[in-house]
């Protein structure tokens, strides 16, 4: 498995990973035909890099760690477990995929429930694909009065379909443009709980 580095916005660096060996969970009943893209160690290192960038912000501002459900559930929990200090947590939900493989119409399901005005929002999602969901939620947080929004994703896909949208402030891992799951990302509503990241073999 080749591992390199690519700079994220603002000079921050995200690990670049590619598909490699067969999955260690391939024997589980119902597990799709897939290969591993980033193993548990690479994912853990990505979370450690992200939390190291966020920690000074937590110490210096009134922060809300805001996860975008459902994909952001696992990344938000992992990042929260690595942060020290006093910060609030909440979630919001915007739906595009409806369990399929392709994007659909954007739908706002659950806005943030706690006050964001004057606070720093540490926004967490699982993956940055075309950036539509993240852009929507970033704009919503600003509209709700957030003093600052720091956007974070565990995974960014390597392609040019962003159509001028802003990149996330923090990126943990960069992968090739294929369907990936695990670490919050689902395949047919399943496998979000996996601690590593996998790609469908048909997309490799």
Say how many domains are in the chain: 1
Range of the domain at 194: 3-23+31-203
- Look at the pTM and tell me if it is higher than 0.75: yes
- Predicted confidence at residue 5, as pLDDT, reads 32
CB neighbour list of residue 21: distance below 8 Å, 6 or more residues apart: 1, 35, 36
CB neighbour list of residue 200: distance below 8 Å, 6 or more residues apart: 32, 33, 34, 178, 179, 181, 187
- The residue that leads in pLDDT, 187 or 17, is 187
pLDDT, tens digit (0-9, with 9 covering 90-100), for 77-135: 999 999 999 999 999 998 765 555 555 566 679 999 999 999 999 999 999 988 888 99
Residue 9 has pLDDT above 60, yes or no: no
- DSSP letters spanning 37-59: EE-HHHHHHHHHHHHHHHHHHHH
- Taking a C-beta distance cutoff of 8 angstroms, is the pair 109, 95 a contact? yes
- Predicted confidence at residue 201, as pLDDT, reads 86
How far is 57 from 70, CA to CA, in rounded Å?
25
Question: What's 193's DSSP letter?
Answer: T
Give the rounded distance of the alpha carbon of 163 from its chain centre.
19
CATH number at residue 164: 3.40.50.2020
């Amino acid at each position: 498995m080749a591992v390199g580095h690519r700079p994220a916005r603002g000079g921050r660096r995200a690990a670049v990973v590619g598909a490699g060996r067969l999955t260690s969970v391939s024997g589980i009943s119902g597990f799709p035909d897939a290969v591993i893209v980033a193993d548990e160690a690479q994912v853990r290192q990505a979370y450690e890099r992200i939390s190291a960038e966020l920690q000074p912000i937590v110490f210096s501002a009134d922060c809300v760690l805001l996860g975008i459900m459902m994909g952001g559930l696992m990344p938000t929990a992992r990042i929260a477990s690595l942060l020290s200090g006093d910060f609030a947590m909440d979630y919001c939900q915007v739906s595009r995929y409806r369990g399929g493989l392709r994007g659909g119409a954007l739908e706002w399901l659950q806005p943030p429930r706690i006050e964001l005005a004057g606070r720093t929002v540490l926004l967490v999602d699982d993956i940055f694909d075309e950036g539509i969901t993240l852009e929507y939620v970033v704009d919503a947080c600003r509209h709700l009065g957030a003093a600052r929004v720091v956007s974070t994703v565990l995974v960014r896909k390597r392609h040019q379909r962003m159509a001028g949208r802003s990149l996330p402030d923090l990126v943990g891992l960069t992968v090739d443009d294929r369907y990936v799951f695990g670490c919050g990302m689902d395949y047919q509503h399943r496998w979000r709980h996996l601690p590593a990241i996998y790609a469908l073999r048909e997309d490799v």
